[in-house]
Amino acid sequence: MPFVRDILNYRSLSIVGLDKNTGKTVCLNYILRRLNSLGIPVGVTSIGVDGEQVDSVFATAKPEITLYEGMRFITSEQHYLKRQLLSVLEHVDSRRTALGPLVTARVLLRGKALLSGAATTGVLRDQIQLLDSMGSRLAIVDGALSRLSLASPTVTEAMVLATGAAVSASVKQLVARTLFQYRLICLDEVDRDLRPRLSTIESGLWGIDDDGQPHDLGIASVFLIGRSDTDLLRYGTTLFAAGAVSDRLLRTLAAKAKGITLIARDFTKLFISPEAYNDFLRRDGRLMVLQRTRLIAVTLNPTSPQGFVLDSDATCHALADALQTPVYDVMKINPPQ
């Protein structure tokens, strides 16, 4: 598939699923196999636990992660001891996890491995830098359920979004949920001149004046927005939320005035519903981000863990029409062995 070539434009990549069992591991295996055939040095880790043989929720069989000669991987000590490959240990992190310290190893002979990596994005950034320093041209992070934070552009440069029948048995609902997430991922970035002024702000809600200067509105968290009588628009109709953005904030702003522009740090900070977002848009509101995640591809797993299977071609076409971007069935491009 053409998106593998696109991946080579970046140093780090996250694979994120809209739900569990959307084909992340199958997609990861396909990418690893293709990159190995191209001779690209790759490092791999996870922000959850990936590569287990049986799904912990549905007790169904899952594809294992295959790693190839020369690849580096980061996992916990406990899972490293369970590897089914030949490797050499290269680094042991002093920070411990519930499964022991995180270890980095290089594969000598291909095989299977369990990946259990960083619990925080800060540690994950350190791991990506470590893989880079060891010679990995690309660091790939396999995601876990509801951990979209790893796809932040402050962590990984690009991402692949995995969706599928596990999200919904209804093609219409599947398309709607995927489209909404896609719209948030693809939000416009602010002007480059404004970005440095906002990127160092760590918390609170800020007003942006006509000269592009930020002013603290004295609201530590947007979740406290309903308790404040602050004039949110005293510096103008452009605001910056340094932390999470909620439905309450969008609805509060929509009730204040039309034409408000709200800037979020990136799409992973948006904890909003389609209903609240659409209401905000109907009031001529605009949602933007400091930094946009580079979406490489959208993939589909047409099979759900409950056993029903969507029509692959029809669902891919429906998603592609809605998103206006190609959608790839990962089960076709890399069927489980």
Q: Which has the higher per-residue pLDDT, 17 or 330?
A: 17
Which tens digits make up the pLDDT trace of 54-111? 444 444 445 689 999 999 999 999 999 999 999 999 999 988 788 889 999 999 999 9
- Give the Cα separation of 286 and 263 in Å (integer): 8
Given a cut of 80, whether residue 226 has pLDDT beyond it is no
Both tokens assigned to 156: 């990984």
In this prediction, residues 194-221 reach a mean pLDDT of 92
Given a cut of 90, whether residue 308 has pLDDT beyond it is no
Q: What does the pLDDT read at residue 121? A: 81
Fill in the DSSP letter of residue 309: B
Q: Which has the higher per-residue pLDDT, 54 or 113?
A: 113
Range 3-186+293-333: architecture per CATH: 3-Layer(aba) Sandwich (3.40)
With pLDDT > 90 as the criterion, what percentage of the chain qualifies? 68
Given a cut of 60, whether residue 34 has pLDDT beyond it is yes
- The dihedral over CA atoms of 148, 150, 156, 160, expressed in degrees to the nearest 10, equals -40
How far is residue 24 from each of residues 164, 181, 269, 291, 297, measured CA to CA in Å? 10, 16, 22, 24, 12
In this prediction, residues 115-128 reach a mean pLDDT of 85
In this prediction, residues 231-257 reach a mean pLDDT of 93
Domain ranges of the chain: 3-186+293-333, 195-289
Fill in the DSSP letter of residue 279: H
Q: How confident is the model at residue 198 (pLDDT cuts 50, 70, 90)?
A: very high
In this prediction, residues 246-252 reach a mean pLDDT of 93
In this prediction, residues 22-29 reach a mean pLDDT of 89
Say if CB 154 and CB 291 are below 8 A apart: yes
Which tens digits make up the pLDDT trace of 36-49? 999 999 999 988 66
Q: Which has the higher per-residue pLDDT, 113 or 119?
A: 113
> Which secondary-structure segment (H or E) carries 319?
helix 312-323
CA dihedral sign of residues 25, 30, 35, 37: positive
Look at 10-24, 140-154, 280-294 and tell me which has the smallest mean pLDDT. Answer: 140-154
Given a cut of 80, whether residue 337 has pLDDT beyond it is no
Mean per-residue pLDDT of the chain: 88
Q: What does the pLDDT read at residue 5? A: 86
Q: What does the pLDDT read at residue 227? A: 60
Q: What does the pLDDT read at residue 62? A: 53
Half-sphere exposure of 274 (CA within 13 A, CB side): 10
In this prediction, residues 167-188 reach a mean pLDDT of 95
Q: What does the pLDDT read at residue 231? A: 87
Which tens digits make up the pLDDT trace of 266-301? 999 999 999 999 999 999 999 999 999 899 999 999
